[in-house]
Amino acid sequence: MTLAQDDGPEPGGDDLFAAEYVLGVLDADEREIASRRIDADATFARLVDAWEARLSPMAAAYPETEPPIRVKEALDRRLFVAEPRSGLWSSLAFWRGLAAASVAALAITIAVPYLNPPVEPPRLVASLTADGSDVRYLAVYDAAHRKIGLSHVSGERAAGKDFELWMIEGKNAPVSMGIIPAGQIAHMTIAPAVQEKLAQGAVLAVSLEPAGGSPTGQPTGPVVAAGDLKSI
């Protein structure tokens, strides 16, 4: 998004600006401006609150992952508590320590899969808009679950028409990702062949097609919204 002035987006764009702030697709300067406006502009703050509530069903589809460092810290606290120093053989401290070390080694062996879980692919987001079109979508791609969540911001499909989602990788021909279901929030499962090509920098685009989608496998109607995927 291009800002027309220092105190926010171009007139009439506050709703989308708030949505992009919540989704996390603004750059650092725009995010700072939005943060200042939340503190100073009650109307804009209410827009942000409304978008947080509106996008929460889409976020709920993607479970949180507990940071592994907390697991390690908890194990450290429980397993490696310091004890007063004494002679090697006195008061059975040596034998207790040896037993504790054995238990600790076993616990660490069991805990290793939790301390070093597989690294999940990053989630990608895109703000889909186009000049001369009132169709706007916000998209979140979760590679780990092979799903795209779409929030319909504005713009309606014409009677007898459907919105179709496309992925464009570099100069390659667009690849259909399917018809976008009607409604404010939609979830689409991505085919493995498409998933392999989706990455940061790929473009998502929405075209207006006959009911049921493009009959040719390529966009036949106008592109009404598009945007680059960015990592969050």
CATH number of the domain that residue 159 is part of: 2.60.40
Last residue of a domain, one of 37, 61, 85: 61
Task: Decide if 33 is inside a domain.
Answer: yes
pTM comes to: 0.59
Q: How many domains does the chain have?
A: 2
Same domain, 149 and 225: yes
Domain assignment present for residue 86? The answer is no
Nearest-angstrom CA–CA distance, 152 and 165: 13
- Domain assignment present for residue 193? The answer is yes
Q: What share of the chain is helix, strand, coil (3-state, %, to 5)?
A: 40, 25, 40
Among 46, 61, 76, residue at a domain's last position: 61
Is there a domain that residue 67 lies in? no
What is the DSSP track for 133-161? Answer: ---EEEEEEEGGGTEEEEEEEE--PPTTE
The list of the chain residues with pLDDT below 70 reads 1-12, 56-122
Shared domain check, 132 and 57 = no
What range does the domain containing 27 cover? Answer: 11-61
Per DSSP, the three-state class of 203 is: strand
**Which residues have C-beta within 8 Å of that of residue 98, sequence separation ≥ 6?**
none
Residue 55 covered by a domain: yes
How many residues in total does the chain contain? 232
Dump pLDDT digits (tens) for 111-144: 555 555 556 666 788 899 999 999 999 998 888 8
Residues 224 and 134 in one domain: yes
Domain contains 53? yes
* Residue 9 confidence (pLDDT): 43
pLDDT at position 94:
47
The answer as to whether 94 is a domain residue is no
Provide the CA 176 distance to its chain's centre, in angstroms: 21
Residue 226 pLDDT:
95
Nearby residues of 20 by Cβ (< 8 Å), 6 or more positions away: 1, 26, 30, 127, 138
Q: What is the pLDDT of residue 57?
A: 64
**179 in a structural domain:** yes
Are 130 and 38 within one domain?
A: no
pLDDT at 32: 87
